[in-house]
A and B are shown apart, each in its own frame.
Chain A
Amino acid sequence: MSEPVTVVIVDDHTIFRSGLKADLDERVRVVGEAGTVEEAVEAIERLRPQVVLLDVHLPGGLGGGGREVLTRSTTLTPQVRFLALSVSDAAEDVVSVIRAGARGYVTKTASGPEITDAVLRVAEGDAVFSPRLAGFVLDAFGTAAVADDELDRLSARELEVMRLIARGYSYKEVAKELFISVKTVETHVSAVLRKLQLTNRHELSRWAADRRIW
């Protein structure tokens, strides 16, 4: 096995931080912790971890929570990857941190091995989609497929992948179901993530405005 992935945990609840630290297995190494926006920005700048486990709701800063940490650390983003972690699965929380640059999203009720897997996947540069996030994406982009691979629509394949993830399939199961490799699934998911982060599609903004997200 290769070197463990370095991680900084950002969460304002000390108990949760220590619990999470104990739950993560030896494939990751926690190099630092932070409890506020300022501490997080400082720790990320200083420690340059591979992955930051970032709580969506954080005190400090301008009140922007996890999103503010992301926007203030943009210069580091290619090297440091962010995995959002939240007790909330509300659309505005999830989608706003993804739009701000997080590579994935897991709920705090996920088990230690699940979070470890997600951290490793994010460290590889892939995206981590929970069923719920996939559901939000389908809701936001619409479920009608389009032929060409334009930026503000999902291709038929991407829609299929999103649907399967929303149905609770793991990446491996998705690959098996669609007769493609896991790597291809990851490529599709990353493409969807990029579209979600970059698109300014009219319907998407309206979907977001309805939910008062961006």
Chain B
Amino acid sequence: MDTLEIRPPLVRGEDRFVAGVCSGLARHLGVRVDVVRWVMVLASLLGGAGIVFYAWLWIMVPTAAEAARRGGRRPASPIAPAVSRPQAPRTTAEPASPAQVRRARRLAGHAREMLLGAVLLLGALVLGSRLIGFEIPLGVIVPVAAILGGAALAWMQLDDSRREQLVRGAGAGRWNGGLRLGAGLALVVAGVALAVSGSQWNVLGLALIASLAVLAGVALVLLPWGLKFWRDLGAERAARVREEERAEIAAHLHDSVLQTLALIQRRAGNEADVIRLARAQERELREWLYRDARKGEGTFTDRLKAFAAEVEDAHGQPVDVVCVGDAPLDGDQRERPEALLQAAREAMVNAARHGGGPVSVYAEAGAQAIDVFVKDRGPGFDLDEVPADRLGVRESIVGRMRRHGGEATIVSSAGGTEVRLHLPGAGTEET
């Protein structure tokens, strides 16, 4: 085994007279190329054995490029990533250890060679017994060989893990499962053999029974597998979807929540920082968990919420946003809602800076108008007493709204201040 692995793989070489078989063989066996070539030529003189051997190798042995391509494709199995993930929730009782898996792979690799050997042995046995004089009718050999070959082909279609699952699923591992499988196969073989060699009796009823036997046998063999296979396929697909979701969530939590928690631990002494971090993380997580998949990015309420988040981060005051309806922010009309957004942002900044306590923002967006209300619970102020040079309220809220055909009202009392912004016919309608 080990010596085999040290040897270079048997591939057709680049240095070639005909197809590079000799040079490849020489490299594989560690013999000089001319020796191999001479042996091949000499063998060809022995009834053409060399030529047959050469042709056979030509067909069977890949070129170096082909071998590389085949080798590179193998890891791209869809099952591989799921298996290699250690935290994957396994439904089977005992998770296979890496060593077991490796052993299974090796066995599976050998199984192919063993199968080939068995077929050759069988062929030799049949031919040998014919030579001795024990006649086995061709009518039996051909269908049996066809059935066995077909079954082998079908099995080779499946990859290793699925084959193992199938065997386990069909219960072929247990004795009664094996019995069922054997009975099914026997029926198939008997049926086909009857159908092929039974023509000499020329009895219709028998042919009918034979056909029925074939069908019953095939059904017996394939039905549990088919069902199981179908069910496994569904379960596997669901598991894969779940796994992908879990991976996405894990990645997100790692990037966001864990980082924030680490930050909070480092800043444990600073209460304001901790609150702000926790609040920002909560908002971000909420946004991620409950985001509305139907809505695209960049609508009016999206922007408003983004502004609120910005203000919240900058000033450390919670800003609660409640939105009813929504308005798109595109087309030629986008300038006006944009102005409203800027005014709302200014109002939120003021509320967070001077209000104290949480800020409530309510937005109602419809076809007729967009309204935004920003309310705080601060001591309030008198608009007329605000100095003229303070651009904040006068210019960026009231003035901006007026320029874009809207209006801003500021109501302030001892219980708090509310900025009411109204923009008629914004976005969708002409005014």
List residues of chain A with CB under 8 Å of any chain B CB: 88-90, 109, 131-132, 134-135, 138-139, 143, 163, 166-169, 173, 210
Return chain B residues, CB-CB under 8 Å to A90: 289-290
Q: Is there contact, CB below 8 Å, between B325 and A167?
A: no
Contact of A132 among B322, B373, B375, B418 (CB under 8 A): B322
Report B288-330 residues with CB < 8 Å from chain A CB. 289-290, 294, 320, 322-325
| Residue of B289, B294, B358, B373 touching A167 (CB-CB under 8 A) | B373
A138 CA to B364 CA, complexed, in Å: 9
- B269 interface residue (CB < 8 Å to A): no
- Give B contacts to A, CB under 8 Å: 282, 286, 289-290, 294, 320, 322-325, 358, 360, 362, 364, 366, 373, 375, 415, 418
Known: A143-B325, A173-B415, A210-B294. A167 touches B366 (CB 8 A): no
State whether B375 touches A168 (Cβ < 8 A): yes
Most buried by A among B286, B289, B324, B360: B324
The 9 closest A-B pairs by CB, nearest first: A168-B360, A135-B322, A167-B362, A90-B290, A167-B373, A138-B324, A168-B375, A166-B362, A131-B322
How close is B411's CB to chain A, nearest CB, in angstroms? 9
With A88-B290, A168-B375, A173-B415 already in contact, the answer to whether A163 and B322 are too (CB < 8 A) is no
Main secondary structure of the interface of A (DSSP, over half): helix
Q: Given A132-B322, A168-B360, 4 more contacts at CB 8 Å? A: A89-B290, A131-B362, A135-B322, A168-B320
Nearest Cβ distance between residue A11 and chain B, in whole angstroms? Answer: 18
A57 to chain B, nearest CB (A): 12
A143 to B324, CA, bound (A): 9
Does B362 lie within 8 Å of A139, measured CB to CB?
Answer: no
Complex-state Cα separation, A132 to B363, whole angstroms? 11
Cβ contact within 8 Å between B360 and A131: yes
Is the pair A135, B324 in contact by a Cβ cutoff of 8 Å? yes
Closest to A210 in B: B294
User: Which among B286, B362, B366, B375 has the highest number of chain A CB atoms within 10 Å?
Assistant: B362
B290 / chain A contacts, CB cutoff of 8 Å:
88-90
Q: Contacts A135-B323, A168-B320, A168-B375 known; A163 to B415 CB distance under 8 Å?
A: no
When distances are taken between beta carbons in the complex, the residues of chain A under 8 Å from B289 are 88, 90
Contact partners of B322 in chain A: CB under 8 A: 131-132, 134-135, 166-167
**Set of chain A residues within 8 Å of B323, measured between Cβ atoms:** 135
Measured between beta carbons, the chain A residues less than 8 angstroms from B320 are 131-132, 168
Are B362 and A89 closer than 8 Å at their CB atoms? no
User: Is B362 a contact partner of A168 (Cβ separation < 8 A)?
Assistant: yes
- Chain A residues with Cβ below 8 Å from B364 are 138, 143, 163
A139 / chain B contacts, CB cutoff of 8 Å: 324-325
Least CB separation from A162: chain B residue: B324
Q: List 16 A-B contacts (CB under 8 A).
A: A88-B289, A90-B289, A109-B282, A131-B320, A131-B322, A131-B360, A132-B320, A138-B324, A139-B324, A166-B322, A166-B362, A168-B320, A168-B360, A168-B373, A173-B415, A210-B294
Determine how close the nearest CB of chain A comes to the CB of B244; give it in whole angstroms: 21
Q: How far is A67 from B290 in the complex, measured between Cα atoms in Å?
A: 19
| Contact yes or no, B362 A135, CB < 8 A | yes
Question: Given the complex, which residues of A lie within 8 Å of B360, measured CB to CB?
Answer: 131, 167-168
Q: Smallest Cβ distance from B320 to chain A, in angstroms?
A: 6
User: Shortest beta-carbon distance, A206 to chain B, in Å?
Assistant: 13
Contacting residues, chain A, for B366 (C-beta < 8 A): 143
The distance from the CB of B283 to the nearest CB of chain A, in whole angstroms, is: 11
- In Å, the complex CA distance between A167 and B358 comes to 12
C-alpha spacing A66/B294, complex, angstroms: 27
Residue of A nearest to B290 (CB): A90
CA distance A163 to B322 in the complex (A): 10
Find the B residue at minimum CB distance from A169. B375
User: Closest residue of chain A to B418, judged by CB?
Assistant: A167
Closest to B318 in A: A109
A132 to B323 CA separation, bound complex (whole angstroms) = 8
CB-nearest residue of chain A to B358: A168
CB distance from B241 to the nearest CB of A (A): 18
- Is the Cβ of B324 less than 8 Å from the Cβ of A89? no
List of B residues within 8 angstroms of A210 by Cβ: 294
A138 to B282, CA, bound (A): 25
**CB-CB under 8 A for A167 and B324, given A90-B290, A135-B362, A210-B294:** no
A155 and B12 alpha carbons, distance in the complex (Å): 87
In whole angstroms, what is the CA distance A134 to B364 when docked?
12
**B residues in contact with A134, CB < 8 Å:** 322
Distance between Cα atoms of A173 and B320 in the complex (Å): 18
A173 to B414, CA, bound (A): 12
| Residues on A with beta carbons closer than 8 Å to the beta carbon of B375 | 167-169
Separation of A170 and B103 alpha carbons in the complex (Å): 71
Q: Contacts of A166 on B, CB cut-off 8 Å?
A: 322, 324, 362
Closest A residue to B326 by CB, please name it.
A139
| Complex Cα–Cα for A131 and B360 (A) | 8
Q: How far is the CB of B396 from chain A (nearest CB, A)?
A: 21
Docked complex Cα distance between A88 and B323 (Å) = 16
Cα of A167 to Cα of B418 in the assembled complex, Å: 9
- Complex: how many Å from CA A169 to CA B415? 10
Nearest CB of A to B185, in Å? 45
- Cα distance, A173 to B415, chains bound together (Å): 9
Report the bound CA distance from A44 to B354 in whole Å: 45
With both chains docked as a complex, state the minimum distance between the C-beta of A179 and any C-beta of chain B, in angstroms.
Answer: 15
Q: Output the least CB separation between B431 and chain A (Å).
A: 20
A212 to chain B, nearest CB (A): 11
Residues of B within 8 A of A131 (CB): 320, 322, 360, 362
A173 CA to B364 CA, complexed, in Å:
20
The chain B residue with its CB closest to the CB of A176 is B415
Bound-state Cα–Cα, A210 to B294, Å: 9
